[in-house]
Amino acid sequence: MRNLTLKVVLAFMILGYVVAMALHFAPSKWHASPAFVFTVCPPALLTITVDPSFTSVAVILAPLNALLYGLVGLLIGLGVHGLRKPAQGSR
């Protein structure tokens, strides 16, 4: 059962990192609103007044976003674990 929770956490962490990197490489013609950017990548609030470089996104913002997404994945994984019935013969 712990493997499922770990897989969910890792999947969410990878998704969080990819989302932050995708926002960095998104074309400017998409005109992503600040509300959208701050919703999918809350650590972007750290760079509210500057345009972050690739290095700061890859080393600071994306890992922070992955951490936040991982915490959400942990909550979901633990929730799924808690809702499952215990196996026969175990308490």
Domain ranges of the chain: 2-83
Judge whether residue 90 has pLDDT over 70. Answer: no
What is the mean predicted confidence (pLDDT) over 30-43?
A: 90
CA distance 63 to 46: 13
Q: With beta carbons less than 8 A apart as the criterion, state whether 47 and 55 touch.
A: no
- The reported pLDDT for the residue numbered 62 is 94
What does pTM read for this prediction?
A: 0.81
CA distance 75 to 81: 10
